[in-house]
Structure 1
Amino acid sequence: MCTKNRVTKAARRQQLQKDLEEVKQLMEQATRKRVCDTLMVEQRKLETEIANKQAQQRRTAEESTELLKPATVVAPVATGYMVKINNYGWDQSDKFVKIYITLNGVHQIPAENTQVSFTERSFELLVKNLNGKNYSLTVNNLLKPISLEGSSRKVKKDTILVMCKKKAEHKWEYLTQVEKQSKEKEKPSFDTDTDPSAGLMNVLKKIYDDGDDEMKRTINKAWAESRDKQGKEEFDF
């Protein structure tokens, strides 16, 4: 039974990654802003779900490892709920991209309660047991690759500094690929007569069928405006 569950979870993660890759490909084809915005929302949802599953997998592996170790005195883990961090600032030097997160009192908890894990194109911050709460921040799809060995974190008064070591000393115009794509899609398109491809319509239908009421309203509105401009019949979801 356990083996079956592991296979199912692995297949789910693989399917999510395939969905994300297809959405990215369709974003490159899309020319209408509202369609691009809709795909951007779906991309962020998929990235968040993938990141959450990866974090859960890492935590499960860590818990399994801990069970094999002899009992030791460890820092207390908060029993409170998880708070997602949405606000942060960033800047850069020639060698580092620096992300600043403000958390009051973070410098007063044990250093081991503030953890950051890096991949070549992402990082995940976890702060445990700060005033009875846990805090997390996941940033995926960094604009350029980073070096895991050179990346680190520093804790200062009420602030966490995440330092991502650049693999190449190039200037980053954006922190993530998502930000870059979003800004580029906002630029005026001169090809206003091009229709979205059949593949784009298929993924929009899937997003519509799986989406909540707000998502459906967004897609309906985008399609209605596109239909009015082009004088074509309304697509029936």
Structure 2
Amino acid sequence: MATALRELQKDLDEVKQLLEKATRKRVRDVLFAEQRKLETEISTKQQQTGESVEVQKPAAIVPPMNSSYTVKINNYGWDQSDKFVKIYITLKGVQQISAENVQVEFKERSFELLVKDLDGKNHTMTVNNLLKPISPESSSKKVKTDTVLIMCRKKAEHKWEYLTQVEKQTKEKDKPSLDTDTDPSAGLMNVLKKIYDDGDDEMKRTLNKAWVESREKQGKSDLDF
């Protein structure tokens, strides 16, 4: 039985060592629970047998880390210069945390921002499928008052109409066709249809009235001719 107690004590000592080194909350919680379980098991066996083992007294009980959760950043603004695409993310008080807590990983067609432990929360933002390639090694970030500025270095100094390929596809899909090669009035009709479909009742009444008046004028012109 003494051998079993010694083995349990070795397990407990190792769990304590791991607990001191662990940084992830979930891992620490598991180790802390295992520590309590082993301590209870050792105490029970000692009471049953009257045996004891040399117990290394801990300096202090290590409590679980304070919990924090992660939120996704959805709002941002962007603009560009000849060399850079600049993304502005507003995070109140971000300038007050350690610079090491603001991390950005750049890839040729994406970047990922992680802001750790700001007001008890982690903040993340991932942008994939950038419109054009960037140079990760020449891209950077700056922390300003209540703002994180991400600077993506363009590989080619071309103007970006959109930030991502997805944004381009979505917006260009919604654009009315302006192709007038086959019908000179087709582009205008598509624009008017788009305005009519998206408009409110007042807009629809205005367009209907304008259409009727246009047809009436056209009829009079045909008669005069």
* TM-score, with structure 2 as normaliser: 0.49
- Which entry has the higher C-alpha Rg, 1 or 2? 2
